[in-house]
Amino acid sequence: MNEESTKSFKDSLFTALTLFNNHEWYEAHDAFEEIWNLVDGDERQVIQGILQVSVSQFHLSKGNLNGATILLGEGLGRIKTRTNINLGIDLESFCRCLEDLLRKLQYEELVNEKDVPSLKPL
């Protein structure tokens, strides 16, 4: 990427992270989709995984536990084998949080606010 597209990428990522961390799932999905269109390879897979997690959280907020569980598992699967990808996000702690949430959903345990995933910058 040239300097201008690198700045655009960083700005887009900051916006997407902010939306995600503010639990604005639909908007975060759209913001990450813009980034998804800019990257390829493993970076694209990680962003797609984050997209799936955003949609899973949207489903969860609407009470669709089955949809949330399926998409969370798919998103986690895309991300957890690629935690070494440097997008400026702490993917390892994100995956740990997703694994805990997925387990709770699979075993129908009570989910609360502290279980909501967040994306922390490196």
Of residues 59, 61, 31, 60, the one with CA closest to residue 47: 31
- Given a cut of 70, whether residue 5 has pLDDT beyond it is no
- Given a cut of 70, whether residue 4 has pLDDT beyond it is no
In a domain, 121, yes or no: no
pTM here is 0.94
Full domain range(s) for residue 70? 3-115
In a domain, 122, yes or no: no
**pLDDT one-digit tens code per residue, 32-69:** 999 999 899 999 999 999 999 999 999 999 999 999 99
Q: How far is the C-alpha of 84 from the C-alpha of 63, rounded, in Å?
A: 33
Calculate mean pLDDT across residues 15-27.
97
Task: Name the residue with higher pLDDT: 30 or 7.
Answer: 30
SS3 content of the chain, % helix, strand, coil (to 5): 70, 0, 25
Q: How far is the C-alpha of 120 from the C-alpha of 105, rounded, in Å?
A: 23
In a domain, 20, yes or no: yes
